[in-house]
Chains A and B, each alone.
Chain A
Amino acid sequence: MSDRVLGVACVVVAAGMAWAATDYAAPISYEPVGPRAFPLLLATLMGIGGLWLIVRPSLRGNWLRQVPLQSLAFAVAAVFAYALLFETLGFTLATTVMAVPVGMAFGGSWKQALAGGLGLGLLLFLGFDKLLDVVLPTGLLSFILGGR
C-alpha cells in the first residue's frame, strides 16, 4: 500500500516536472538537445517507475495499521513551519517553536518540550555563532543576541 502511494506521488511529480520542463528553451544553442531533454527524460523514467510501483507493489505494506497519524502530521507541520519561519523568527525562537510539537509528538509534556527547545536553541546558537563563528539568523531576538 505504501508502495502504491509512493507510485502515485512519483507519477504526479513526474507530470509536474514534464509540464514545467516543456517551457525551457535556450535562446542561442549549438547543441542538439536543449535544457528540456534531461528533465523530460527523468520525468519519463519517474513516471514509468511510479506506474510500476502502482501495478506491482512489494509485499511489505502495513501502512495505516498502527501509524500515529496525528503526531506524524504535527511533526511534519512543525518541520515545515521551521523552514518557513527560520529567517523571520531567528534561530533560537524557531527552534523553540519547532521543538514543542515534535517533543509532544514523542510523548513529552509541553513544558518539557518548551524547556528543551529553549535550552537547545540558546546553547546551539551560542556554540555556533559565538564559538565557531557560523552565522545564524537572530531574527526577533536581535536586540539581545546582537546581530544585524
Chain B
Amino acid sequence: METLQYLMTGFGVALSTTNLMVAAIGALVGTIVGMLPGLGPINGVAILMPLAFALKLPAETALILLAAVYMGCEFGGRISSILLNVPGDAGAIMTALDGYPMARQGLGGVALSISAWSSFVGSFIATCGIVMFAPLLARWALAFGPAEYFALLCFAFACITGLMGDAPVKAALAAVIGLSLASVGLDSNSGVYRFTGGDVHLSDGIQFIVLVIGLFSISEILLMLEQHHSATGIIKATGRALFNFKELTYTWCPPSAPRWWASWSACCRAPAPPSPAPSPTPPKNGWPARTAGSARATSAAWRRPRRPTTRRRSARSCRC
C-alpha cells in the first residue's frame, strides 16, 4: 500500500534530531500558550505562525513545529482547568469537572499527569485512526445530512440531562439557556437579526469561547467569595505528582458504579497474564474521598444517576 510507503518516508524525515528537538520545543511553547484561558489550539497556532516564518525553517520542520504547538495547546488548556477551574478552551470543560475537585483534595499533580497520559493515548489513537480510516470517514462525513445532525443534537441534550442525574430539570434549563444564547445574532435561514438590540457587534452572535470563560471564571470568583472568603489555601500542594496504576484503571471504570464493576471484574477474572490485575473491590479509603463538595470527582461520564433509596417522597423533598 502506498500509504505505508509514504508513512515510512515521513517517519524518516520526522525522526531526525532537529525535527525531534523542534517538536519538543513546539510542544513546550504550545503548552505555555494553551495554559492561558481563551487561547485554544487554533488561536495558539495562528499566533505562533509568524514564529515559523521568522526562524526561516525548512517547510517540514515548520510544519512539525506548528503541529507540536497545536498538540501542546490542546494539553495546556487542561492545566488552567484543573488548577483554576477555568477551562482554557471548549475541550477542557469536562476536564474541569473532574480535575478541579481532585486538585482541591490535594491530587492536582495526579490529575495533571492522568490528563497528560490520556491526552497522549487519545491523540495517538486518533492519529492512527485518521491514517487508517480517512477515506471511510470522508465518505461518512459527506453522507452526514441534516437529519443526522438533528439526531446528534438530540443525543447531546439527552446526555446533558443524563449527566446531572439528580437535577434533570436544571440540566434541561441550562441546555435551553445555552440554546437561547446561541440564537443571538443573524438567523441563517431568513436573514433576520435576533436579540441583537441593534448592536452591530452582536450580529455574529456571542462567541463561544467568551461565553465559556466568562461563565466559568466569573462564577468561580463568586463561588470563592461565597464559600471561602479568600482565594488562598484552596488548592493544596500535593506530594504525589504521578498517578499510580490503580488510578489509571479508574479512568476506565470508576469505583462508584457497581454494575460496571461487576461486568468488568468478570472480564478481569478471565485467565490473565501475570501482570497485576486490579482487584474488583473498591479501595479502602475510597478514591476520591467522598466529601460533600466532591460529588463529581470520579469519571462522571459513566456514573449512573443515583436514585433515592426511599420510595416515599413528599413534595418538598423532590430533588429536581
Contact = CB atoms under 8 A, between A and B. Distances in A.
A144 interface: no
A68 B169 contact: no
Residues of A contacting B: mostly: helix
B9 interface: no
B173 A53 contact: yes
Contacts of B224: 106
Interface stretch (B69-77, B91-99, B256-264, B312-320): B312-320
Which of B172, B173, B179, B195 has the largest count of A CB atoms less than 10 A from its CB? B173
Contact of B194 (A24, A45, A46): A24
A107 B233 CA distance: 14
Given A58-B167, A105-B225, A132-B33, A49 B190 contact: no
A24 B230 contact: no
B173 A35 contact: no
B195 A56 contact: no
A21 interface: yes
Contacts of B319: 58-59
B7 interface: no
B47 A132 contact: yes
A79 B191 CA distance: 33
A39 interface: yes
Contacts of B179: 42
Given A56-B318, A107-B230, 11 more contacts: A6-B170, A34-B192, A35-B187, A35-B194, A38-B183, A39-B194, A46-B180, A79-B221, A106-B225, A132-B33, A132-B47
Interface of B: 33, 47, 50, 167, 169-170, 172-173, 176-177, 179-180, 183, 187, 189-192, 194-195, 218, 221-222, 224-226, 229-231, 315-320
